[in-house]
Structure 1
Amino acid sequence: MGLCVSRQDDDDDSAHFIMADGNVHLITTVAAWEEKLLQAKQQDKIVIANFSAAWCGPCKMIASYYSELSRKYTSLMFLTIDVDELPDLSTSFDIKATPSFFFLKNGKEIDKLVGSNKAELQKKITAIADAQGWT
Protein backbone atom coordinates (compact mmCIF):
# COMPACT_ATOMS: atom_id res chain seq x y z
CA MET A 1 0.00 0.00 0.00
CA GLY A 2 1.47 3.32 -1.02
CA LEU A 3 4.90 4.24 -2.25
CA CYS A 4 7.69 5.90 -0.37
CA VAL A 5 10.58 7.22 -2.38
CA SER A 6 13.07 6.65 0.41
CA ARG A 7 12.01 3.26 1.69
CA GLN A 8 14.43 2.11 4.35
CA ASP A 9 14.68 -1.53 5.41
CA ASP A 10 16.60 -1.00 8.61
CA ASP A 11 16.24 -3.26 11.61
CA ASP A 12 15.93 -0.70 14.39
CA ASP A 13 12.74 -0.62 16.42
CA SER A 14 11.70 2.77 15.05
CA ALA A 15 10.94 1.11 11.72
CA HIS A 16 8.19 -0.96 13.32
CA PHE A 17 5.81 1.69 14.61
CA ILE A 18 4.18 4.95 13.64
CA MET A 19 4.95 7.86 15.94
CA ALA A 20 2.00 9.45 17.68
CA ASP A 21 3.17 12.09 20.13
CA GLY A 22 1.95 15.46 21.30
CA ASN A 23 -1.71 15.83 20.37
CA VAL A 24 -1.52 13.25 17.57
CA HIS A 25 -3.98 10.38 17.85
CA LEU A 26 -2.93 7.04 16.37
CA ILE A 27 -5.87 5.47 14.55
CA THR A 28 -5.74 1.67 14.57
CA THR A 29 -9.36 0.75 13.79
CA VAL A 30 -12.13 2.00 11.53
CA ALA A 31 -14.27 2.48 14.66
CA ALA A 32 -11.62 4.80 16.15
CA TRP A 33 -11.48 6.71 12.85
CA GLU A 34 -15.25 7.19 12.82
CA GLU A 35 -15.26 8.19 16.50
CA LYS A 36 -12.60 10.88 15.93
CA LEU A 37 -14.42 12.26 12.87
CA LEU A 38 -17.63 12.50 14.89
CA GLN A 39 -15.79 14.16 17.77
CA ALA A 40 -14.17 16.66 15.38
CA LYS A 41 -17.55 17.49 13.86
CA GLN A 42 -19.11 18.02 17.29
CA GLN A 43 -16.19 20.25 18.33
CA ASP A 44 -16.09 22.06 14.96
CA LYS A 45 -12.47 21.02 14.41
CA ILE A 46 -10.60 20.50 11.17
CA VAL A 47 -8.99 17.06 11.00
CA ILE A 48 -5.52 16.54 9.61
CA ALA A 49 -5.14 12.87 8.74
CA ASN A 50 -1.57 11.70 8.16
CA PHE A 51 -1.55 8.48 6.15
CA SER A 52 1.85 7.03 6.90
CA ALA A 53 3.81 3.78 6.99
CA ALA A 54 6.26 2.38 9.53
CA TRP A 55 8.78 1.49 6.82
CA CYS A 56 8.69 4.95 5.17
CA GLY A 57 11.77 7.08 5.82
CA PRO A 58 10.14 10.43 4.95
CA CYS A 59 7.17 9.50 7.18
CA LYS A 60 9.52 8.94 10.10
CA MET A 61 11.39 12.17 9.35
CA ILE A 62 8.26 14.34 9.40
CA ALA A 63 6.57 12.58 12.35
CA SER A 64 8.23 14.70 15.05
CA TYR A 65 7.43 17.90 13.15
CA TYR A 66 3.81 16.78 12.77
CA SER A 67 3.71 16.19 16.55
CA GLU A 68 5.22 19.64 17.13
CA LEU A 69 2.51 21.20 14.96
CA SER A 70 -0.15 19.29 16.90
CA ARG A 71 1.03 20.93 20.12
CA LYS A 72 0.97 24.39 18.53
CA TYR A 73 -2.39 24.13 16.74
CA THR A 74 -4.57 22.57 19.43
CA SER A 75 -7.75 23.80 17.73
CA LEU A 76 -7.11 21.23 14.99
CA MET A 77 -7.33 17.44 15.35
CA PHE A 78 -4.21 15.55 14.27
CA LEU A 79 -4.56 11.87 13.35
CA THR A 80 -2.06 9.30 12.07
CA ILE A 81 -3.13 6.22 10.16
CA ASP A 82 -0.76 3.38 9.20
CA VAL A 83 -1.67 2.50 5.61
CA ASP A 84 -0.63 -1.12 6.17
CA GLU A 85 -2.78 -1.48 9.31
CA LEU A 86 -5.92 0.01 7.77
CA PRO A 87 -5.69 -0.78 4.04
CA ASP A 88 -9.43 -0.36 3.38
CA LEU A 89 -9.43 3.16 4.84
CA SER A 90 -6.27 3.99 2.90
CA THR A 91 -7.85 2.69 -0.30
CA SER A 92 -10.95 4.81 0.28
CA PHE A 93 -8.65 7.88 0.27
CA ASP A 94 -6.80 6.58 -2.81
CA ILE A 95 -3.41 6.73 -1.08
CA LYS A 96 -0.67 6.25 -3.66
CA ALA A 97 2.30 7.60 -1.68
CA THR A 98 3.24 8.17 1.93
CA PRO A 99 3.08 10.39 3.76
CA SER A 100 -0.21 11.85 2.54
CA PHE A 101 -1.94 14.50 4.63
CA PHE A 102 -5.67 15.04 4.22
CA PHE A 103 -7.44 18.07 5.67
CA LEU A 104 -11.06 17.27 6.50
CA LYS A 105 -13.97 19.38 7.64
CA ASN A 106 -17.11 17.49 8.67
CA GLY A 107 -15.53 14.38 7.17
CA LYS A 108 -15.06 15.97 3.74
CA GLU A 109 -11.70 16.70 2.11
CA ILE A 110 -10.89 20.40 1.90
CA ASP A 111 -7.20 20.08 1.03
CA LYS A 112 -4.35 17.58 0.85
CA LEU A 113 -0.58 17.34 0.69
CA VAL A 114 1.43 14.38 -0.58
CA GLY A 115 5.01 14.13 0.62
CA SER A 116 7.08 15.20 3.59
CA ASN A 117 7.45 18.90 2.76
CA LYS A 118 7.60 20.60 6.18
CA ALA A 119 7.25 24.13 4.81
CA GLU A 120 4.19 23.24 2.73
CA LEU A 121 2.58 21.37 5.64
CA GLN A 122 3.14 24.38 7.91
CA LYS A 123 1.75 26.71 5.23
CA LYS A 124 -1.44 24.67 4.78
CA ILE A 125 -2.03 24.29 8.52
CA THR A 126 -1.44 28.00 9.13
CA ALA A 127 -3.81 28.94 6.29
CA ILE A 128 -6.55 26.69 7.70
CA ALA A 129 -6.05 27.95 11.25
CA ASP A 130 -6.03 31.58 10.06
CA ALA A 131 -9.18 31.07 7.95
CA GLN A 132 -10.95 29.69 11.02
CA GLY A 133 -9.61 32.45 13.27
CA TRP A 134 -7.83 29.87 15.44
CA THR A 135 -4.30 31.26 15.58
Structure 2
Amino acid sequence: MSTLVTSVEQFNQLLEKYPKMAIDFKAVWCGPCKLISPAFEGHAKAQKEALKADSTKTDDIVFVTVDVDDLPEIAEQYKITAMPTFKFLVNGKEVDELIGANKGTLEIKVKGLLGVKTQAPAAAPAAEENKAAEAA
Protein backbone atom coordinates (compact mmCIF):
# COMPACT_ATOMS: atom_id res chain seq x y z
CA MET A 1 0.00 0.00 0.00
CA SER A 2 1.23 3.50 -0.72
CA THR A 3 1.86 6.05 2.00
CA LEU A 4 -0.72 8.83 2.18
CA VAL A 5 1.20 12.06 2.67
CA THR A 6 -0.54 14.32 5.19
CA SER A 7 2.03 17.10 5.62
CA VAL A 8 4.93 18.79 3.87
CA GLU A 9 7.17 17.69 6.73
CA GLN A 10 6.23 14.04 6.24
CA PHE A 11 6.83 14.34 2.49
CA ASN A 12 10.29 15.83 3.07
CA GLN A 13 11.19 13.10 5.56
CA LEU A 14 10.22 10.40 3.06
CA LEU A 15 12.16 12.20 0.34
CA GLU A 16 15.28 12.16 2.54
CA LYS A 17 14.85 8.54 3.65
CA TYR A 18 14.22 6.86 0.30
CA PRO A 19 16.47 7.22 -2.76
CA LYS A 20 13.53 6.43 -5.07
CA MET A 21 10.01 7.81 -4.84
CA ALA A 22 6.89 7.23 -6.93
CA ILE A 23 4.28 9.92 -6.32
CA ASP A 24 0.60 9.74 -7.24
CA PHE A 25 -0.84 13.27 -7.33
CA LYS A 26 -4.61 12.99 -7.21
CA ALA A 27 -7.85 14.49 -5.91
CA VAL A 28 -10.91 12.84 -4.38
CA TRP A 29 -13.18 14.35 -7.04
CA CYS A 30 -11.03 13.08 -9.95
CA GLY A 31 -12.69 10.18 -11.81
CA PRO A 32 -9.58 8.99 -13.71
CA CYS A 33 -7.64 9.06 -10.41
CA LYS A 34 -10.10 6.55 -8.96
CA LEU A 35 -9.65 4.30 -11.99
CA ILE A 36 -5.83 4.16 -11.88
CA SER A 37 -5.35 4.25 -8.11
CA PRO A 38 -5.72 0.45 -7.71
CA ALA A 39 -2.92 -0.08 -10.25
CA PHE A 40 -0.60 2.28 -8.34
CA GLU A 41 -1.51 0.57 -5.06
CA GLY A 42 -0.84 -2.80 -6.71
CA HIS A 43 2.70 -1.74 -7.63
CA ALA A 44 3.30 -0.53 -4.07
CA LYS A 45 2.02 -3.81 -2.64
CA ALA A 46 4.07 -5.90 -5.09
CA GLN A 47 7.23 -4.04 -4.07
CA LYS A 48 6.57 -4.66 -0.37
CA GLU A 49 5.94 -8.35 -1.06
CA ALA A 50 9.15 -8.60 -3.10
CA LEU A 51 11.09 -7.15 -0.17
CA LYS A 52 9.56 -9.69 2.22
CA ALA A 53 10.37 -12.56 -0.15
CA ASP A 54 14.01 -11.55 -0.71
CA SER A 55 15.92 -10.43 2.37
CA THR A 56 18.88 -9.34 0.23
CA LYS A 57 16.86 -6.52 -1.35
CA THR A 58 17.02 -3.09 0.22
CA ASP A 59 13.97 -0.95 0.83
CA ASP A 60 15.08 1.97 -1.35
CA ILE A 61 11.72 3.02 -2.83
CA VAL A 62 8.54 4.49 -1.44
CA PHE A 63 5.18 4.86 -3.15
CA VAL A 64 3.30 7.93 -1.91
CA THR A 65 -0.06 9.52 -2.59
CA VAL A 66 -0.55 13.28 -2.43
CA ASP A 67 -4.03 14.82 -2.48
CA VAL A 68 -3.51 18.09 -4.37
CA ASP A 69 -6.37 19.78 -2.50
CA ASP A 70 -4.94 18.88 0.91
CA LEU A 71 -1.31 19.72 0.05
CA PRO A 72 -1.34 22.38 -2.68
CA GLU A 73 2.20 23.47 -1.79
CA ILE A 74 3.61 20.08 -2.85
CA ALA A 75 1.47 20.09 -6.00
CA GLU A 76 2.78 23.57 -6.86
CA GLN A 77 6.38 22.53 -6.16
CA TYR A 78 6.05 19.76 -8.76
CA LYS A 79 4.01 21.91 -11.18
CA ILE A 80 0.95 19.67 -11.14
CA THR A 81 -1.68 20.97 -13.56
CA ALA A 82 -3.71 17.81 -14.25
CA MET A 83 -4.75 14.74 -12.35
CA PRO A 84 -3.73 12.08 -12.11
CA THR A 85 -0.06 12.92 -12.48
CA PHE A 86 2.67 10.54 -11.42
CA LYS A 87 6.19 11.76 -10.71
CA PHE A 88 9.18 9.48 -10.35
CA LEU A 89 12.16 10.72 -8.35
CA VAL A 90 15.68 9.44 -7.81
CA ASN A 91 17.72 11.15 -5.11
CA GLY A 92 15.14 13.93 -4.99
CA LYS A 93 15.34 14.69 -8.71
CA GLU A 94 12.52 14.04 -11.14
CA VAL A 95 13.49 11.36 -13.66
CA ASP A 96 10.11 10.59 -15.22
CA GLU A 97 6.47 11.62 -15.30
CA LEU A 98 3.10 10.29 -16.39
CA ILE A 99 0.08 12.52 -16.85
CA GLY A 100 -3.16 10.58 -17.16
CA ALA A 101 -4.57 7.20 -16.24
CA ASN A 102 -2.71 4.80 -18.54
CA LYS A 103 -2.10 1.58 -16.60
CA GLY A 104 0.34 0.12 -19.14
CA THR A 105 2.50 3.23 -19.18
CA LEU A 106 2.37 3.41 -15.38
CA GLU A 107 3.71 -0.14 -15.18
CA ILE A 108 6.56 0.66 -17.59
CA LYS A 109 7.52 3.78 -15.64
CA VAL A 110 7.40 2.00 -12.26
CA LYS A 111 9.60 -0.80 -13.63
CA GLY A 112 11.97 1.83 -14.97
CA LEU A 113 12.19 3.40 -11.54
CA LEU A 114 12.82 0.03 -9.95
CA GLY A 115 15.62 -0.58 -12.43
CA VAL A 116 13.81 -3.46 -14.11
CA LYS A 117 14.19 -3.40 -17.86
CA THR A 118 11.00 -3.85 -19.79
CA GLN A 119 11.02 -6.21 -22.73
CA ALA A 120 10.82 -4.83 -26.23
CA PRO A 121 7.70 -5.70 -28.21
CA ALA A 122 7.95 -9.14 -29.84
CA ALA A 123 7.90 -7.65 -33.36
CA ALA A 124 10.94 -5.45 -32.79
CA PRO A 125 13.63 -8.19 -32.91
CA ALA A 126 12.14 -9.68 -36.08
CA ALA A 127 12.21 -6.28 -37.75
CA GLU A 128 15.90 -5.94 -36.90
CA GLU A 129 16.61 -9.40 -38.34
CA ASN A 130 14.83 -8.46 -41.58
CA LYS A 131 16.94 -5.32 -41.91
CA ALA A 132 20.11 -7.34 -41.37
CA ALA A 133 19.03 -9.91 -43.98
CA GLU A 134 18.23 -7.17 -46.50
CA ALA A 135 21.63 -5.54 -45.96
CA ALA A 136 23.49 -8.83 -46.60
Query: For residue 83 of structure 2, what is the aligned residue in structure 1?
Result: 98
Matched, 1:119 2:112: no
Larger Rg: 2
Q: Return the TM-score normalized by structure 1.
A: 0.74
Q: Please give the root-mean-square deviation of Cα atoms over the aligned residues, in Å.
A: 1.5
Tell me which of 35, 42, 52 is aligned to 1:61: 35
1:65 shift after superposition = 1.2
User: Quick one: which amino acid aligns to residue 86 of structure 1?
Assistant: L
Unaligned runs of 5+ in 2: 49-58, 118-136
Off by >3 Å, runs of 4+ in structure 1: none
Q: Name the one with the larger helix percent.
A: 2
Percent same amino acid among aligned pairs?
35
Between the aligned partners of 1:31 and 1:52, the Cα distance in structure 2 is 19
Between the aligned partners of 1:57 and 1:92, the Cα distance in structure 2 is 23
Q: Return the TM-score normalized by structure 2.
A: 0.73
Between the aligned partners of 1:86 and 1:128, the Cα distance in structure 2 is 24
Q: Deviations 1:9-47 (Å, cap 9, x if unpaired)?
A: xxxxxxxxxxxxx2x00001000100111110xxxx310
Unaligned runs of 5+ in 1: 1-21
